[in-house]
Chain A
Amino acid sequence: MHTDARTLENGAVIDGDLCIVGAGAAGISMALQLINSPLKVILLEGGGFEREQAMQDLYRGDIVGQPYFPLDAARLHYFGGTTGHWAGWCATYDAIDFETRSWVPHSGWPIEREDLDPFYERAQPILDLGSYDYDASSWSRRDTALTALGLDRKAFWTKMWQFSPPTRFGAKYRSAIVDARNVHLYTHANVCEVEADDAVTAVDGVRIRSFDGKEYRAHAKAYVLACCSIQNARLLLASNTKATAGLGNARDLVGRYFMEHLEMPSAELVLAKPAAPLKMYAWESGVTKARGEIALDPRLQREHRILNGTASLEPGSLGEPVKTTFQLLSPEILAAMEKWEKGGRVGPPPFVTDTGASAAPPPLPRVYHLMTRQEQSPNPDSRVSLSAEKDALGMPRAKLDWRLSEIDKRSIRTFYQLLGREVGRAGIGRIQIREWLLSDDRTWPSFVSGGWHHMGTTRMHTDPGQGVVDPNCKVHGLANLYIGGAAVYPTAGAANPTLTLVALSLRLADHLKTRLS
C-alpha cells in the first residue's frame, strides 16, 4: 500500500506494529523481509519517488573539520535513497574487521564475521549479485584471465569484489513494497522528532511534518531509524523534548565516531616489463562482474599495527594527475549521471567524457595508479552534531566535523612500503609512494577524499558506555528503538558498506519478526 502523506489530514495518526523510518537500502531491505509476515509495517519516506530539490535541501548541512562533499549531494532523499546514485561495489568485511585490535582504539564488534555470513548470502540476490563467492582462486578457475599478480600470499592476498548492476532500490522494489498488503509506505513523510515516553524508556511515536505545516504521528510497537548515519544521528539529537541531550544520548555518544573510507590516489606501480592489461584488477562500469584488489594479510596488519585497507589498480602514466573519488565525481557530475541513467543511458556516462578516466589504456600498460580504499580509525571527535541553522521543516540541520587520526595516514604509507618491498622482491616492478603520504602523519592534503560512505554515528557495543546500540541494533536504554544501516558499525572495515548494511538489515528484520510476533 502507498499513501502520499501530503494527502493526510492534519493531526492524523498512523498505527502499525513496526515503523521503519527511511526507505533506502536498509529500510527497503527490511520491509522486503517482512512482506507477508503477520506484522503491520509502516514505512516512512521523507521524499517521493523522484528527486525533488526541496527534499534534497533538507539534507543540506554544515561542514567543519576536514573538507567534505556537500551533504545534500552525497545522499539522496527519495524512495530508494542513495542507491539512486550508488556505484554497485560490493565486498564482504574481513574477519579482522570485527576483531578488537589493541592498536586500533575503540575497535571490535560484538558480533563476528561468521554471524553475518548467512545474511551476506541472503543479501546477494537483493543487490542483484551472483553467487556468494568472494574467493579469488574460485573466480580464477571460472575465468583464467583473472590472474592475480604473483605476490607472496603470506603477505598480500586478493580481496574480491562483486558488482551490482547497480540495483536502484527505488525502481526495483517499488512495486513489491506498494503491492504488499502488510506494508504501508508513506512518501513525503518527514520525521522531525522521535517521541519518548515520560520515563524515556521507550519510544511512544514519531512526529511527521510536511511543508504546508501539517503534522501527523506514527505509532507502533517498535521503531527502526534507517535514514543513513548522518540523518539518524541528527534525528536522535533533535529529539530532545524529553531527553535534553537527545534520545539514546545519555552517554554523549550519538553522532560520534563518524567514519568514512579513505579513497585516495596513493602510489604508482611500474611493472618490470610491460604486460597485457591485468583483468583481475580491471573494472568497467556495467560490464565487470567481479574483480580483485590487493589486500594486506592480517598477520602483517598486526605486526605493523596498522588499519585494514586495499589498493586497486588503474592503468595510467607517471606524472599525470589522478583524481580522488570526490574530485572525479563532483556534485554536478553526480547529478548528470542520475539524469543520464534516467534518460536511458544514451552515450557514454558523463564522468567518462568529462575526465577521460575511462580512456583506453595503451596496448601494453606498464604503469598503474594505486588507489587506496582504507578504513579510518574510530575517532570520538569525528562527529555529527546539530547546526544552529534550521531547515524548511524547522529541524536543526546536521553539522559534520569529519576528523582523521595519525594511524589513518601511517597505515596507508606502511601498506605501500610493504607492497613496494614485495613487488620488488617478486620482480614485479617498483612502487612510488605519492608525496602527500611522505609528510608528517597529522597533515592531510586539501583533496582528502572519502567515498560517500557514512558510518558509525550510533555504534554497536554491548556496553552502553561505549556504544549507542546493542548487538541486536536496539538503542541502549530504549525498549523499542532500533537503528538500521551503517550507522551501527563500530569500525568501518576495508570494504564499501552497502553489502554489509543490507546483511545487517536482514538480520535485524529476522530479530524483529521473532520479537514482535
Chain B
Amino acid sequence: MALDRRSFLRLSASVVAGGLVLSGCEGEHAEVDALDRPLLLEMLGPDRVRSLGSRYIAMVPGENSAPALRTAIAQRRSSPLHVAWARTSIEDAVREDFADGRTVIVDGWVLSLTEARQCALFALASS
C-alpha cells in the first residue's frame, strides 16, 4: 500500500523521534543523532545555540516539542525517502534552505529554517 504524504511524515517523524533506524545498520545511529547536533555548534558554541533554540521556540510556539520540530524538519527535506539523517544530508538541507530563501532571523542571525529547528531541538534536549 502506498503511503500518502501525511502517513509518511507521521511514520518518519516517529521513527526519527524514537531513534530507530529503518535499515537497522549500526552506523546509522550516529546519523540520526546528527539531527540533534547543529552545524552551528562549531561556529557559535553550545550556549549561543541553546539560546537561539529557545528563541526560535518562543517565536514559533507550534514547534515547542521534539516531535513537532522533527516533523517540521522532515517536511522540508527534498529527498523524503531518506529517513536517516546523515550529517551530509543535513548540510545539504541547510544549504538548500539558504539557496531557496527558507531562512529565519533569530536574534539577528540569518539561519536556515532547518538549522533553526535543530537549535530548538538542541535547546530542548539540554533543558
- Asked if residues A427 and B95 are in contact (CB atoms below 8 Å), the reply is yes
B-chain residues with CB within 8 Å of residue A435 when the two chains form the complex: 108
| B4 interface residue (CB < 8 Å to A) | no
CA distance A430 to B43 in the complex (A): 8
A417-B110, A424-B94 known; A429+B43 contact, CB < 8 A: yes
Which of B26-34, B56-64, B99-107 participates in binding chain A? Answer: B99-107
| A270 interface residue (CB < 8 Å to B) | yes
CA distance A267 to B105 in the complex (A): 13
| A425 interface residue (CB < 8 Å to B) | yes
Shortest Cβ gap from A274 to chain B (Å): 10
| A431 interface residue (CB < 8 Å to B) | yes
For B39, B42, B43, B91, which residue has the most chain A Cβ atoms within 10 angstroms? B43
- Asked if residues B108 and A430 are in contact (CB atoms below 8 Å), the reply is no
Beta-carbon contacts under 8 Å, B82-121 to A: 91, 94-95, 97-99, 101, 103, 105, 107-112
B-chain residues with CB within 8 Å of residue A425 when the two chains form the complex: 95, 98-99
A427-B95, A431-B110 known; A420+B103 contact, CB < 8 A: yes
| B40 interface residue (CB < 8 Å to A) | yes
| B44 interface residue (CB < 8 Å to A) | yes
- Asked if residues B44 and A422 are in contact (CB atoms below 8 Å), the reply is no
CA distance A432 to B109 in the complex (A): 4
A416-B110, A425-B95 known; A430+B44 contact, CB < 8 A: yes
Of chain B, the residue at the smallest CB distance from A433 is B108
B-chain residues with CB within 8 Å of residue A429 when the two chains form the complex: 43
CA distance A432 to B112 in the complex (A): 13
- Asked if residues A424 and B43 are in contact (CB atoms below 8 Å), the reply is no
B-chain residues with CB within 8 Å of residue A424 when the two chains form the complex: 94-95, 97-98, 103, 110-112
- Asked if residues B103 and A433 are in contact (CB atoms below 8 Å), the reply is no
Interface residues of B toward A: which range?
Answer: 20 to 34
Of chain A, the residue at the smallest CB distance from B95 is A425
A424-B110, A430-B109, A432-B109 known; A270+B95 contact, CB < 8 A: no
| A421 interface residue (CB < 8 Å to B) | yes
| A438 interface residue (CB < 8 Å to B) | yes
B-chain residues with CB within 8 Å of residue A420 when the two chains form the complex: 103, 109-110
CA distance A427 to B97 in the complex (A): 12
Interface residues of A toward B: which range?
Answer: 20 to 34
B-chain residues with CB within 8 Å of residue A421 when the two chains form the complex: 98-99, 101, 103, 110
Of chain B, the residue at the smallest CB distance from A424 is B98
B-chain residues with CB within 8 Å of residue A432 when the two chains form the complex: 107-110
- Asked if residues A422 and B98 are in contact (CB atoms below 8 Å), the reply is yes
Of chain A, the residue at the smallest CB distance from B43 is A270
A-chain residues with CB within 8 Å of residue B103 when the two chains form the complex: 417, 420-421, 424
CA distance A277 to B54 in the complex (A): 33
A-chain residues with CB within 8 Å of residue B112 when the two chains form the complex: 424
- Asked if residues B105 and A417 are in contact (CB atoms below 8 Å), the reply is yes
A-chain residues with CB within 8 Å of residue B97 when the two chains form the complex: 424
- Asked if residues A433 and B105 are in contact (CB atoms below 8 Å), the reply is yes
Shortest Cβ gap from A317 to chain B (Å): 12
CA distance A63 to B39 in the complex (A): 49
Shortest Cβ gap from A418 to chain B (Å): 9
| A176 interface residue (CB < 8 Å to B) | no
CA distance A438 to B55 in the complex (A): 15
CA distance A427 to B57 in the complex (A): 25
| A272 interface residue (CB < 8 Å to B) | yes
| A251 interface residue (CB < 8 Å to B) | no
Of chain A, the residue at the smallest CB distance from B39 is A272
Q: A186-215 vs B: 1/0 string, CB under 8 Å?
A: 000000000000000000000000000000
A421-B98, A438-B105 known; A272+B43 contact, CB < 8 A: yes
Pick the contact of B44 from A267, A270, A438 — CB < 8 Å?
Answer: A270
| A434 interface residue (CB < 8 Å to B) | yes
Shortest Cβ gap from B113 to chain A (Å): 11
CA distance A427 to B101 in the complex (A): 15
Q: A338-379 vs B: 1/0 string, CB under 8 Å?
A: 000000000000000000000000000010000000000000
20 more contacts with CB within 8 A, not counting A425-B95, A425-B99, are A273-B42, A366-B43, A420-B103, A420-B109, A420-B110, A421-B99, A421-B110, A424-B94, A424-B95, A424-B110, A427-B95, A430-B40, A430-B44, A432-B109, A432-B110, A433-B105, A433-B109, A433-B110, A434-B108, A435-B108
